[in-house]
Amino acid sequence: MDGFTYHNIFETKGIEYLAIIAFFALLVPFWLLLNKQVKLNRQIQNSLGILTANVLRSPQGLFYNRNHAWTFLEKTGIAKVGLDDLLLHITGVVKFLNLKQPGETIRKGDLVAELENRGRVLQIFSPISGEITALNPNILENSALLNEDPYEKGWMFKIKPTNWISDTSSSYLAEAATRWSESELERFKDFLATTTGKYEPEYSIVLQDGGELRDHTLSELPDEIWKDFQVNFLNHKI
């Protein structure tokens, strides 16, 4: 037939294209199944109240400092500041006291808020310097947002930074932040082993069957341990 040309795909690269298509056809369902299983495992551990590295969230693109606060620079040049997922899994549901207010100028490491849980208090320090431009009204009305969505709806402050590059130079970012969060969970286990031996509470308070940490561990522990946690775990020169 005029104008018709026959190509044998086995004599061209067509077979290679078919192989690539077949590979992705197998890979995509496998990836979806694996991702679904990871999410399911996280949901199961959350429902059981077990605190493991698998339940911790460390979104990419945020700067995490050693005092367990994070910051993110928006396109406007204003930085959001909040608390990381590990700290909130440790404390359980908290409410704010003595928050700094919009218009106030702070320096990195300044006390900006206190977290309160049934009379027990932790101090929170700013990860950056600058002027506070906004306070998140949603967390004042519903403090549970901190635990449910600490990186989106549960942010604390917006700050106009004055020394962004220097202030974030010692922060953890991307995969380094994930590894740091996992190592901090192990450090928290070591802290509990030391401090519970000092005050001798029942170990069933902080451990599930099998030796896993209970979620919201500090919420069931006495004020003395909260004070130790502040001094020996949370406080760092930044």
What percentage of the chain reaches a pLDDT higher than 70? Answer: 74
Share of the chain above pLDDT 90, in %: 61
Tens-digit pLDDT profile for residues 51-93: 898 889 999 999 999 999 999 999 999 999 999 999 999 999 9
- pLDDT value at 138 more than 90: yes
Handedness of CA 142, 48, 231, 195 (dihedral sign): positive
For residue 183, pLDDT beyond 50: yes
Supply the pLDDT for residue 198: 77
Q: What confidence tens digit (pLDDT) does each residue in 13-40 have?
A: 556 656 566 655 665 554 444 444 334 3
- Structure pTM? 0.76
Task: Give bridge partners of residue 80 from the DSSP assignment.
Answer: 72, 158
**Rg (alpha carbons) of the chain, rounded to whole number:** 24
Most confident of 44-48, 175-179, 209-213: 175-179
Report pLDDT digits (tens) over 93-131.
Answer: 999 999 999 999 999 999 999 999 999 999 999 999 999
List the one residue out of 221, 216, 225 whose CA is nearest residue 195. Answer: 225
Q: Which two tokens stand for residue 55?
A: 């339940």
On the question of pLDDT at 44 being above 50, the answer is no
What integer is the mean pLDDT of 187-193?
A: 91
Q: Alpha-carbon distance 155 to 125, whole Å? A: 14
The pLDDT of 195-204, averaged and rounded, is 65
72/62 Cα distance (integer angstroms): 5
What was the pLDDT predicted at 237?
A: 65
At 102 the pLDDT is: 97
What is the spatial distance between Cα 170 and Cα 183, in angstroms, rounded to a whole number? 16
Residue 3 has pLDDT above 70, yes or no: no
Q: Which of these, 160, 157, 162, lies nearest to 81 by C-alpha position? A: 157
pLDDT at residue 45 greater than cutoff 70: no
Mean pLDDT of 142-162: 94
